[in-house]
Every structure is written in C-alpha cells, then in structure tokens.
Amino acid sequence: MTDPRYDVIAIGNAIVDVVASCSDELIDELGLAKGGMTLIDEDGARDLYDAMGPAREISGGSAANTLAGLSALGAQCAFVGQVAEDQLGQVFAHDIRAVGIDFDVAPRAGQPSTARCLIFVTPDGQRTMNTFLGASQFLPASALDEEAVSAAAILYLEGYLWDPEEPRAAMRRAIEAAKRAGRKEAFTLSDGFVIARHGDDFRQLIADGLIDILFSNEAELAALTGEDDFEAGLAQLAPQVEVLVVTRSEKGAVCLRGGERAAVSAEPTTVVDSTGAGDLFAAGFLFGLARDEALETCLRRGAICAAEVISHYGARPEADLKALMAEKLG
C-alpha cells in the first residue's frame, strides 16, 4: 500500500452558514425547535433569513468544518461536495480552498441553489439550525474521484448526507474504493433524526465491517443502540467497530478501541455558539489518530478544538490551533 497523499478525504454537505444572535422569544415566535436541526425548503430559508437580525455568512457543513480544523492543524485534506453555479457556491469554493483543502467538484448548473444553514444563536450559546440542503443533495457518484479516495489514509463520511439518494450512492462507492485500497472509513452519525430515518442502514454498515471509526454523541448512541443507559450503549456498539468515539458535551468524551478505553473532560471555555463543536472535536481526534497518537491525546486534541470553536460565532476555527495544541499539550 502506497503512502497516502491525504490524511483525510471527506464527503459532506457543501453549505454556507448564516449565523445570527437572537432571543429565546424569537425562537418561540418562529416556532423553531431550540437546539435542534430542521430541514426547510427554499421558501422557508428565505422567510427565516428575513426574520434574522444582522448575520455573518461563513462556509460550513459538518464534514467541511472538520476538514477546516484538520487543515488548520497541518493535515492534508480533500473535500467532496456539491455546490450550485451561483454566488454562494463561489463563496463556499473560495473559502474551503483558501484554508488549504483540495476541492475539485464542478458546480451544478440550474436549480436548486447552493445549500445554506440559517443558525439562530440564543444567549445561552445554543444553536438552532434550519437547513436548506439545495444543490448539496445532488452530488452524483460520477463526481467521485476514486483515485483521490484511495490516496487518503481516512475516508470521513457525514451522516447528514446519507438522506438523499445521489450522495448516498456516492458514499457507498467511496467506501468500496477505500476498502479496496486498504484505507480506514470514518463515519459521523450527525443527528438523531438521521438515525431515525437511516438507522437500519447504519447498523448494517457497522455489521458488515464497513465503518472503522464511528463518531457519536450521547443521544445518538442511545438512538442507534436502543439503550438509554450510556454504559450499556457503549458495551453494545464498541465491539462492532475498531474505534468508537462518543462526545458528552460538558462531560467530555470517551473512546474505546479493542480492550482499550480512554476518557477526557471538556476543556474550560466560555460558550458563545455551540455550532461545530462535534465537527471540530472530530478534527482534533482524527489529526491525532492519523499520527498514531495515544487515544487520550487524540481525545484531548478533540476537546481543545471543540472548546475553541464554541468560544466564538461560526463553525470554523479562528484561533491558531497549532499554537493552542502547543500550549495545552506541550
């Protein structure tokens, strides 16, 4: 097996985040599910945008955010996702390339427009996401560069993108290419609603040995395993994957690999906007894992990255992550 060209190649939604502060009263007035993620159509996106206060437009998408963190740490990365031939598509492509990530998928002509996520952030730092998936749902399998997948040490797949048919086929094709090349497949469960719709698919992927590294949070673990007890959920799932990583918000995170178990506390920080916490945790963890670091070190890297991203608005790191690692890890 040749040395990898990339540390991580990821397939995910190509989304531009629109982030604004708001009151709890506005959340209630708009009938939004506070702290959750709701899929909306283009008309709904337009209406919510009109209701927002002053906002920042920041390229996002779960897997793309993870790659942005990895790139900031010094990893070599590539992204596979679909934008439209419009202004937001240009914004996304510029932003992801500007942070050193290879992105070669051609923009899609016509409707729908580029995906966007309207994020309302309440004073407690909770983010309420309303996502119009737009062009990102139409990533065809033909857009996949199997040579690039084979040239990456880790293939990272975003659970959110499992919903639409075209990108699901692209992701299955990528898994096959990575397996043939002897690479590792990582998967993030993304959200409880994704598990509710596709949990059987995910459980089958795991049973078939097609997921080596699984990222979950505490609620997603319960949804996937059917176990409300945290330890029972771990005991059921851990033997089925090579590496299981479960984040627990303020309670830190746990990782199991074979008979090995590691855990870390959350890094102290001031929560401004929790958008991207799980994405950046995955970035730090994967950076360490790609370098064969101890599990506890991988978890600490994840916790440090997550603490940085929730200390400001937006789901991309703003501080120098390399400097943070040097300060925190020595």
Is pLDDT above 70 for 209?
Answer: yes
- Domains identified in the chain and CATH numbers: 6-14+61-112+136-329 (3.40.1190.20)
State the DSSP string of 121-182: E-TTS-EEEEEE-GGGGG--GGG--HHHHHTEEEEEEEGGGGSSHHHHHHHHHHHHHHHHTT
pLDDT digits over 110-164, tens only? Answer: 999 999 999 898 998 888 989 899 999 999 999 999 999 999 999 999 999 998 8
Please give the pLDDT value at position 1: 61
CB contact burial 147-175 (16+ within 10 A = b; e otherwise): ebbbbbbbbbbbbbbbbbebbbebbbbbb
d(CA 58, CA 18): 6
Query: Which pairing describes strands 152-158 and 260-264: parallel, antiparallel, or unpaired?
Result: unpaired
252 phi-psi bin (left φ>0, alpha ψ -120 to 50, beta other)? left
Q: Mean of the pLDDT values across residues 52-64?
A: 89
pLDDT digits over 272-319, tens only? Answer: 888 889 999 999 999 999 999 999 999 999 999 999 999 987 788 999
N-to-C CA span, the chain = 33
Q: Is the dihedral of CA 212, 213, 214, 218 positive or negative?
A: positive
Which helix (H) or strand (E) segment is 204 a member of? helix 192-207
Q: How far is CA 24 from the centre of its chain?
A: 26
Question: Sorting pLDDT into bands at 50, 70 and 90, what band is 183?
Answer: very high
Q: Mean of the pLDDT values across residues 165-190?
A: 96
Q: Are 10 and 77 in contact (CB under 8 A)?
A: yes
pLDDT digits over 232-257, tens only? Answer: 999 999 999 999 999 999 999 999 99
d(CA 201, CA 295): 28
